[in-house]
Amino acid sequence: MNMRQFQTFSSFDPTTLAIVDGSGTSQFEIWNGEYCNDESEARTSFGYVGKGGVELRTPQGKFNLREGMYFGAPSQFSLHGTAGILFTKKGFTGVLTIAGPVEELGRLKYIDGCSDSVLIQPLVKGDPCFNFLSLPQGIDQTAHTHPTVRLGQIISGEGYCETSSGQFPLRPGVSFVLPPDEIHSFHTPASSLRLVVFHPDTDTGPSHDDHPMLNRTIVNGKSAATLDEIRTR
């Protein structure tokens, strides 16, 4: 399989098989039919199931996923049936996660009237995450950048991405790589647009000093998160 690195926004046809080395540790792959990851190195793949269904086989068991569902699978696993996309973070050990299908709209506000959901949350602040983005029809998104690579796939609707290199049409099944710090914007003149996006890192999420169990543990009327003698034992 071909390992390629991209310096500008790049999109791929739905039938194309590609592995992309976006930041040295992040990659994506479009699978069609059968897929097997038998490498023993630490890595976790985040996947989205396209049309049809797939059986996910892991050391923990076999799981049937239908169209629109998504998953996180650490280390060794295989996929049997249909097609979809995988986003992989090398050197990261996540936990087996199966969920979905993706909803019509995101749960969180995003820029310019768009919405977002964090489908698979970072386990610890700084870990990768898997996201869903929904853009209503008629959006002319404000030009912006991201500090790290973004890997994504369109799951419904149409539109285009505008960059300094030109306009790139977006339709269901099209995958894309957005290198760090590249200015871009998404536009939906005639249709809404829905996509899943992998982020290789985060600046939010639980930490040893800030997480729900700790914060909501009350000792003598105070959160344990504020008590150094509790946190550092």
pLDDT in tens, the chain (233 residues): 444 555 566 776 655 555 555 556 788 888 888 888 877 788 899 999 988 889 999 999 999 999 999 999 998 899 998 888 899 998 999 999 999 999 999 999 999 999 999 999 999 999 999 999 999 999 999 999 999 989 899 999 999 999 988 999 999 988 888 888 999 999 999 999 999 999 999 999 999 999 999 999 999 999 988 887 665 56
9, part of any domain: yes
214, part of any domain: no
- The pLDDT, as a whole number, for residue 25 is 77
How far is residue 225's CA from residue 218's CA, in Å, rounded to a whole number? 9
220, part of any domain: no
Tell me the torsion sign for CA atoms 150, 151, 156, 162: positive
Phi-psi category of residue 6: left, alpha or beta, with phi > 0 → left and psi -120 to 50 → alpha:
beta
Whether pTM > 0.85 for this model: the answer is yes
- Composition of the chain by helix, strand, coil, percent to 5: 5, 50, 45
In this structure, the answer to whether residues 170 and 84 fall within a common structural domain is: no
In this structure, the answer to whether residues 132 and 195 fall within a common structural domain is: yes
- The pLDDT, as a whole number, for residue 205 is 94
- The pLDDT, as a whole number, for residue 39 is 73
Q: Which tokens go with 230?
A: 């509790």
133, part of any domain: yes
- The pLDDT, as a whole number, for residue 14 is 57
In this structure, the answer to whether residues 47 and 90 fall within a common structural domain is: yes
In this structure, the answer to whether residues 156 and 113 fall within a common structural domain is: yes
- Structural domain count of the chain: 2
The single-letter DSSP state of residue 100 is: -
In this structure, the answer to whether residues 33 and 95 fall within a common structural domain is: yes
Residue 195: CB atoms within 10 Å: 24
How far is residue 34's CA from residue 163's CA, in Å, rounded to a whole number? 34
Show the domain range for 59.
Answer: 3-99
221, part of any domain: no
- The pLDDT, as a whole number, for residue 3 is 45
Q: Pick the closest to residue 65 from 85, 45, 44, 80 (CA basis).
A: 80
204, part of any domain: no
191, part of any domain: yes
Give Cβ neighbours of residue 158 (< 8 Å, ≥ 6 apart).
Answer: 169, 170, 171, 172, 188, 190, 191, 193
49, part of any domain: yes
- The single residue listed with the structure tokens 């034992």 is 233
Tell me the torsion sign for CA atoms 13, 19, 24, 25: positive
Q: Pick the closest to residue 67 from 79, 80, 46, 49 (CA basis).
A: 49
In this structure, the answer to whether residues 74 and 52 fall within a common structural domain is: yes
